[in-house]
Amino acid sequence: MTFSTHNALQKQWIPVYGFAGVILVFVPYMEIVGYALCLLAGIVWFFERTRKQLEQALRLHIHSHESLLFVGDETEVQLILDGSEVVERLGLPVRVRLKSNTALSFPAHDRSPNSLDLTLRTDQARHMLHIQAEFRGPAYIEECVLAVTLPFHLGTYLLECPIEKRWTVLPSLTLHPPVGTKRLALGDRPLTASPLRNPLQVLGSKPYEGEPVKEIDWVATAKLGRVQSKVFQKTSLDTFTFAVDLSGPSGYTLHHDFESIISQVAYVTTRLLKEECKVELFINRFNGEGKMEHISLQEGERGSRLILLMLADLHPGNRFISTDAFVRMVERKRLKQSHLVWFNQHNLYD
């Protein structure tokens, strides 16, 4: 903790004020000055003692039940102030200054969304605060400073509290731009083989359990008197391989609108996994081992979570693979029986 005050009230002047005050007390006609210097030394010593006391007692923590946010989501966090009873006993006001990275914002502060100045009540230890996810990627509080102000502008105690809480902002599930969907090849599977479109592949029926179904078996419903849903045959064409190429037209540099490609991948992935399909993912980025990013065949909520976390971790500072090399690597390593879908610059402006 640092004490921001006038130069005359710094702690290094305590021995000077004390020694000069003791000497001047015994000098004729200088007793008042000596007493004043001794009093000033006592005041500075009291300020230093208060600084050490606050440094040991004050701590600020942030608690949040959510660690994963989508772009645009707003959540409530708790500011927990340890040592509030010490500040309340001293009768001093406490303010906190928070500054986040670009992935987070504070809706309560319109002029500067990434920073917030808030006065804390010393009679309660917990305070509620709203944060909003703005951009995809890791989100955290860069700066957290507690300020305890002395009266009469005598100074301010400043304590920097590092915040360990981290959030991950997942990519938006809204297609951007909305017209860039013609080449996603979601509905281009052969009609004669896909159970999602071919009613001839229906194997039977089962009791309707309230889950999202593709079609209700009205014949079985009429016979049994209960709502029945069709049971479809699984085929290999319900397995997808997504190849995500974030390179631009040159094939080597990152595309200027790569965020739209990432949003498309997130949208289509969650849609297909909800349809009980399986998805394999390739990204033209090198991982920590110098290999191409690859997520093996995934399904269900676990697969959706894993893929969204991978997409949220993409950063322009990463090392990416050129388009030509990426095409060869995908064709060599992908599942041959799966349906290959490319996500690249051609998906954006068709």
Give the dihedral sign, CA 219/224/229/235. Answer: negative
Model confidence at 350, in pLDDT bands (50, 70, 90)?
A: very low
Question: Strand, coil or helix: what is 203?
Answer: strand
Q: Can you tell me the distance from the alpha carbon of 267 to that of 61, in angstroms, rounded to the nearest whole number?
A: 35
Q: What is the mean pLDDT of residues 189-217?
A: 52
pLDDT tens digits for range 125-151: 888 888 999 888 899 999 899 998 888
Model confidence at 237, in pLDDT bands (50, 70, 90)?
A: low
Proportion of the chain above pLDDT 90, given as a percent: 8
The alpha carbon of 173 is separated from its chain's Cα centroid by a whole number of angstroms, namely 16
Predicted TM-score (pTM) of this structure: 0.71
What pLDDT is stored for residue 127 in this prediction?
86
How would you label 221-248 residue by residue, b for 16+ Cβ within 10 Å and e otherwise? eeeeeebbbbebeebebbbbbbbbbbbb
Is the pLDDT assigned to residue 58 strictly greater than 90? no
Question: Strand, coil or helix: what is 233?
Answer: coil
Is the pLDDT assigned to residue 189 strictly greater than 50? no
Model confidence at 28, in pLDDT bands (50, 70, 90)?
A: confident
Cα–Cα distances in Å, from 263 out to 163, 174, 209, 213, 270? 29, 7, 32, 25, 11
* Average pLDDT score, the chain: 80
More confident residue, 147 or 348: 147
Cα–Cα distances in Å, from 245 out to 254, 262, 345? 9, 10, 8
Q: Can you tell me the distance from the alpha carbon of 198 to that of 237, in angstroms, rounded to the nearest whole number?
A: 12
What pLDDT is stored for residue 347 in this prediction?
63
CB 267 within 8 A of CB 345: no
Is the pLDDT assigned to residue 282 strictly greater than 90? yes
What ranges make up the beta strands (E) of the chain?
Answer: 2-5, 59-63, 68-70, 74-82, 94-100, 104-105, 115-120, 126-133, 137-149, 155-160, 166-170, 202-207, 228-232, 239-244, 278-286, 292-298, 339-343
What pLDDT is stored for residue 84 in this prediction?
83
Cβ count near 13 (within 10 Å):
16
Tokens of 42: 């006592």
Residue 177 CB partners (closer than 8 Å, separation 6+): 260, 348, 349
Radius of gyration of the chain (CA): 32
What pLDDT is stored for residue 178 in this prediction?
47
